[in-house]
Amino acid sequence: MTEKAYRYRFYPTLEQEDLLRRTLGCVRLVYNKALHIRTQGWYEKQERIDYKQTSAML
């Protein structure tokens, strides 16, 4: 099996850069909160929280 990788550079404008920063900041926040809930569920109750349950919490 052969794998190929492509790299592309892009040069966003200041407005696009600001939007990317805000968007990725929100994504990071949601991911970290979901991870915290899943980790907390496991360590406190030994309960697995799956993707469906995590999505419903959003």
Q: Which long-range contacts (CB under 8 A, 24 or more apart) does 39-48 make?
A: none
- Supply the pLDDT for residue 58: 80
Residue 48 makes CB contacts below 8 A (sequence gap 6+) with: 41, 42
CB atoms within 10 A of CB 33: 13
Tokens 């030994």 correspond to: 46
Along the 58 residues of the chain, how does pLDDT read in single tens digits? 889 999 999 999 999 999 999 999 999 999 999 999 999 999 999 999 999 998 898 8
Rounded CA gap, 32 and 40, in Å? Answer: 12
Residue 15 makes CB contacts below 8 A (sequence gap 6+) with: none
- Supply the pLDDT for residue 11: 97
